[in-house]
Amino acid sequence: MGLIKAAGGAIGGVLADQWKEYIYCESMAPDVLVCKGRKRVSQRSSNTKGEPDILSRGTVIAVNEGQCMAVVDQGKVVEFCAEPGEFTYDGSPEPSIFCGSLGESIKETFRQIGRRFSFGGGAARDQRVYYFNLKEIVGNKYGTANPVPFRVVDKNIGLDIDIAIRCYGEYSYKIVDPLLFYANVCGNVASDYRRAQIDGQLKSELMTALQPAFARISAQGVRYSALPGHTMEIAQALNEVLSEKWSQLRGIEVASFGINSVTAPRADEEMIKDLQRRAVMRDPNMAGATILEAQAEAMKSAAANPSTGPMFGLAGVNMAASAGGVRADALFAMGRQQAAQAAQAPQASQAPQAAPAEGAWTCPGCGAQNTGNFCSTCGEKKPEPKKAEGAWTCPSCGAACTGKFCPECGEKRPEPARAWTCEKCGAQNKGRFCTECGAKKPEKARLYRCDKCGWEPEDPEHPPKFCPECGDKFDDSDER
């Protein structure tokens, strides 16, 4: 009876799984991170007796916007798709007579029946489709139960102290690597994997990373009261701190970070304000104005006192100044002196620079100043000076020349060799023999034209000794 039941189960199961499946996922709730795909079965469908975790060859899987799909076969991800639309799974080992060659599908069907018979009629395979939510997971609240250290840096007054602050708000994150999230977080789930299952761990790690993230922000000189205006920098700093645990381990990243309120203890706030008020007194003008205000208030108070009178108050002010107190007019004079010195400082800084050494040159590679033939910083060779247009080197003394005669020895500028075309190979040459085939330069009649005014004699082969137009002497340079 057992063999008959196993044979019937194997045959019935394989035939029931011949139908191609249609896998889909409804709109995922905001708190669902991963859910299992479902087979669509309607009242008109005949595909009601197939195995729930078997995907026949040719199965169609629908992928919506903001989702990605992964096919898991025997616990291993074998297919992945993040593009919205229809995905056809042709790589399934479960045959279907409705996909591929009919003859091959029938042969594989009988093989599958034999395989299932050896397992008592049941399917020895588990195939699932999982959908991942790629949208931003918002509404994750956080709050510092204990004060978080924050470094306050104010370079204007030389302030650098640590205080304790409290903050609360919301943050959001996204799944950026679904395969990592499946392998290290959710794995095979029966239905849904919700964010409540991981929120506690993420919030604890976020609060741990908040302290080094605040340290990076405070190092930029941002005050704790201005933190709500630097939420993007905080999110970037959090991702850098949490990259090893979140990005590289779980495949998630902080998408945004919001701060609703930041508060510091009243004592710390009063201390910072008091230090800032004191730092203002370093300016002589501000200190003088404060003394004048205090003196005016003292005189008003004395004038309002009927027992002393204004004369007594004024005498008290003069006595305080003569006893060693600082006078306002002296502070104002000090402020004017500092302003004059500040105005003269830029002029003093614009001192004439030392003239470069003789023969110095600037390296085109690194910009360093050098005097030798090679750069002392990068080793690049000194660039050769560019020759002026028409420059030539005297063959007698080696001097650099630009005119028709050498300024050192009076040697005349040598005429450049005239190019000629070889009649055999067509190569261009300047010497008496061809550089390609060795043919000798052909002899031709000597024709002359004055190279100064362009006059040509009537007998071009026998010119006069001097040009009748300009008086220039004919020589070999006039040959054309």
State the pLDDT at residue 317: 53
Q: What are phi and psi of 405, to 5 degrees?
A: -130, 150
pLDDT for 80-127, tens place per residue?
Answer: 998 998 898 887 777 666 676 666 767 776 576 656 656 666 666 888
Tell me: pLDDT of 131 over 90.
yes
Q: What are phi and psi of 26, to 5 degrees?
A: -70, 175
The whole-angstrom separation of Cα 326 and Cα 381 is 66
State the pLDDT at residue 257: 86
Nearest to 443 by CA among 467, 464, 461: 461
State the pLDDT at residue 323: 43
Mean pLDDT confidence for 307-333:
57
Which comes out higher in pLDDT, residue 345 or 406? Answer: 406
State the pLDDT at residue 13: 57
Tell me: pLDDT of 236 over 80.
yes
Q: What three-state secondary structure class fits 71?
A: strand
State the pLDDT at residue 29: 87
Tell me: pLDDT of 296 over 50.
yes
Cα radius of gyration (the chain): 47
pLDDT for 197-217, tens place per residue?
Answer: 999 899 888 888 887 888 777
Q: What three-state secondary structure class fits 335?
A: helix
Tell me: pLDDT of 450 over 60.
yes
Tell me: pLDDT of 428 over 70.
yes
CB 354 within 8 A of CB 369: no
Nearest to 113 by CA among 128, 124, 101: 124
pLDDT for 374-408, tens place per residue?
Answer: 777 777 778 776 656 667 788 888 788 877 788 78
State the pLDDT at residue 173: 93
Mean pLDDT confidence for 232-255:
86
In the chain, the amino acid numbered 177 is D
End-to-end CA distance of the chain: 119
β partners of residue 92: none
In the chain, the amino acid numbered 247 is S
